[in-house]
């Protein structure tokens, strides 16, 4: 019971605005209209303040009249402040009450008003009410804003002994495409509905805020933490499972939530917010549309990631990158080329997977420099192979969208003396989602140069057939996802047959990735797949091992 009382006391402190300590007549009430705090002057003026169960109606019985009471109900429902004029039942003295919404209920500021100044005072209080609301609330959603969030959190920390406060950082998933495709009006409508969904799952000890854009926050006071916060966080995630309807169109926007609890995860505002941000990052990294609670292991992972990010900036200069080459085979057993695979051997950590460091390099603007190095290495190595062997190089979106790509490729081919038709550039469908006209111009220019173009991982992204119609691809690569169950899964077989027939109908070759068994190879050969790639046919190898591999290739497939 002592813990609960402590938490209630701490929870009350979050509502204590600085003006409750001023010389004004200020009082604060919860959702049930019970008095929870007031200024010193108010305590001296109203003896009723000392009642154990004092309510708004005890302090201001005049507000029970129909018109003033409707004004109170309006403030509760809308969050918009109202000025109400009342008259003392005994003295007939008129006063103006400024009624405003708080996160726990409502507040009242009382202004004395003489008859001669009544009209001016009433207008002044209305202006004051509007300014108060605008300063502390988000205009679009009506939620308390970042300023009020910071004031409340700073006032609540450090939490008293025995109390626990949970902070939840909330980001909306897939919100940006709504603004991009349907316009900002639709985005604003979704944000309003999102705020309502957040409000709908909050208990009496939880308060919601809009921080900026599609970022929200919730502060929750409960003794049983983090269990109660995790329950609320799951409820918040589930509240976004249903679509939002905007102008008759259903759009899906999820929510990712990061949870941190004071005092364990931090008892100062910066510490607690950092912990919640780290947990939110973990939620998004784990696939979005979920909640994660901060743990020390998250901090260690983030610190390691930042260490890698710093190391990445010097990895190229210090020679930590190297490339390997995986064979491309034309059935039955002809080696027709190799795909270039970038590797990073960190001097302390060891081998870092491309799935980890390539997104870092792209976000930090390093991929163009690294990609140019890979291109030069691959083209120079390919000049030592038989003349019929091609070399495939992956192009990241960051490289593809950078100006001057075609000039750099042409200059590289000239510098190393490699024929353009021996270079194959692999791009994914995600590269084509933006700047479509420029993308088409780039691909057409590469096509004119004689460079081959491959659409990588076909079937795993958006797979719009318009790409195949509008862009000049030479090859489609079927992702290994469809190959792994090829021998037994009829659906995979149907999809692969369709892609092969589609590509051949459009005059394109087909390469199957992830071939790991003889059965897969036999099936693909029978269906007319042009090229195969996978561990059954050849593992990635350094450049120095390729000559020996080519000499022994015929023995590998016996």
Q: What share of the chain is helix, strand, coil (3-state, %, to 5)?
A: 50, 25, 30
Distance CA 239, CA 226 (A): 20
Q: How many CA within 13 A on the CB side of residue 321?
A: 25
pLDDT-derived band of residue 15, with 50, 70 and 90 as boundaries?
very low
Q: How many CA within 13 A on the CB side of residue 232?
A: 32
Q: How many CA within 13 A on the CB side of residue 506?
A: 20
Cα first-last separation, the chain:
78
Q: What is the pLDDT of residues 179-188, one digit of tens each?
A: 877 888 999 9
Partner residues linked to 102 by β-bridges:
none
Q: Region 429-441: what's the mean pLDDT?
A: 69
Q: What is the pLDDT of residues 299-354, one digit of tens each?
A: 877 777 788 888 898 999 899 999 999 999 998 889 999 999 999 999 988 998 88
Q: Region 497-506: what's the mean pLDDT?
A: 93
Distance CA 138, CA 429 (A): 39
Q: Region 153-159: what's the mean pLDDT?
A: 86
**CA-wise closest residue to 329 among 476, 175, 515:** 515
- The helices-and-strands tally (H runs, E runs) of the chain is 21, 21
Domains defined for the chain, CATH in brackets: 15-136 (3.30.450.20), 146-294 (3.30.70.270), 316-556 (3.20.20.450)
- Residue with the two structure tokens 């038989």: 386
Q: What is the pLDDT of residues 481-492, one digit of tens each?
A: 899 989 999 999
- Residue with the two structure tokens 């402190």: 13
Give the pLDDT confidence score for residue 9 in this predicted structure: 42
Quick check: 279 and 258 in contact, CB under 8 A? Answer: yes
Share of the chain above pLDDT 70, in %: 87
**CA-wise closest residue to 454 among 438, 439, 468, 473:** 473
**CA-wise closest residue to 379 among 409, 427, 416:** 416
**The tokens of 140 are what?**
């679009």
**pLDDT over 90 at 393, yes or no:** yes
Neighbours of 234 (CB within 10 A): 14
Distance CA 539, CA 535 (A): 5
CA 513 to chain centre: 30
**The tokens of 259 are what?**
């949870």
**CA-wise closest residue to 175 among 166, 184, 167:** 184
**The tokens of 533 are what?**
């790639």
Q: What is the pLDDT of residues 204-242, one digit of tens each?
A: 788 899 999 999 999 998 888 999 999 999 999 999 999
Quick check: 49 and 22 in contact, CB under 8 A? Answer: no
CB-count exposure of residue 155 (10 Å: 0-12, 13-18, 19+): middle
């Amino acid at each position: 019971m002592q813990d609960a009382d402590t938490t209630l006391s701490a929870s009350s402190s979050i509502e204590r605005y600085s003006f409750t300590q001023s010389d004004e007549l200020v009082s604060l009430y919860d959702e049930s209209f019970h008095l929870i705090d007031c200024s010193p002057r108010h305590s001296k003026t109203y003896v009723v303040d000392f009642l154990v169960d004092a309510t708004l109606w005890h302090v201001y019985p005049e507000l029970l009249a129909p018109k003033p009471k409707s004004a109170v109900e309006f403030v509760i429902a809308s969050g918009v402040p109202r000025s109400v004029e009342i008259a003392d039942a005994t003295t007939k003295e008129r006063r103006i009450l400024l009624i405003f919404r708080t996160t726990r209920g409502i507040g009242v500021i009382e202004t004395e008003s003489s008859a001669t100044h009544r009209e001016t005072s009433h207008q002044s209080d209305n202006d004051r009410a509007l300014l108060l609301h605008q300063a502390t609330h988000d205009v679009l959603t009506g939620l308390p804003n970042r300023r009020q969030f910071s004031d409340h959190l700073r006032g609540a920390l450090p939490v008293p002994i025995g109390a626990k406060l949970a902070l939840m950082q909330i980001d909306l998933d897939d919100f940006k495409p709504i603004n991009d495709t349907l316009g900002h009006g639709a985005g604003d409508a979704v944000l309003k509905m999102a705020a309502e969904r957040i409000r709908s799952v909050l208990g009496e000890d939880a308060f919601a805020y809009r921080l900026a854009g599609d970022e929200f926050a919730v502060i929750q006071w409960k003794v049983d933490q983090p269990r109660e916060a995790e329950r609320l966080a799951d409820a918040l995630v589930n509240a976004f499972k249903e679509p939002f309807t905007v102008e008759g169109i259903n759009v899906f926007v999820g929510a990712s939530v990061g949870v941190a609890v004071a005092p364990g995860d931090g008892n100062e505002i910066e510490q607690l917010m950092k912990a919640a941000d780290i947990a939110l990052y973990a939620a998004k990294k784990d696939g979005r549309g979920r909640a994660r609670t901060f743990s020390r292991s998250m901090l260690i992972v983030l610190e390691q990631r930042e260490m890698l990010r710093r190391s990445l900036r010097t990895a190229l200069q210090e020679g930590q990158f190297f490339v390997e080459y995986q064979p491309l085979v034309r059935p039955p057993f002809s080696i027709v080329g190799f795909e270039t695979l970038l590797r990073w051997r960190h001097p302390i950590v060891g081998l870092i997977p491309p799935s980890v460091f390539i997104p870092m390099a792209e976000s930090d603007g390093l991929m163009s420099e690294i990609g140019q190095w890979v291109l030069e290495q691959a083209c120079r190595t390919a000049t030592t192979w038989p003349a019929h062997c091609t070399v495939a190089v992956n192009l990241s979106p960051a490289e593809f969208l950078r100006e001057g790509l075609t000039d750099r490729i042409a200059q590289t081919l000239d510098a190393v003396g490699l024929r353009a038709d021996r270079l194959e550039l692999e791009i994914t469908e995600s590269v084509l989602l933006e700047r479509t006209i420029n993308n088409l111009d780039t691909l057409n220019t590469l096509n004119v140069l004689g460079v081959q173009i491959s659409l990588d991982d076909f079937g795993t992204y958006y797979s719009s057939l318009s790409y195949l119609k509008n862009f000049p691809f030479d090859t489609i690569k079927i992702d290994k996802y469809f190959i792994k169950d090829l021998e037994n899964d009829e659906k995979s077989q149907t999809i692969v047959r369709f892609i092969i027939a589609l590509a051949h109908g459009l005059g394109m070759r087909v390469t199957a990735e992830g071939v790991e068994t003889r059965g897969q190879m036999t099936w693909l050969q029978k269906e007319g797949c042009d090229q195969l790639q996978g561990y059954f046919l050849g593992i990635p190898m350094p450049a120095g091992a390729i000559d020996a591999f080519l000499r022994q290739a015929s023995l590998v497939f016996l």
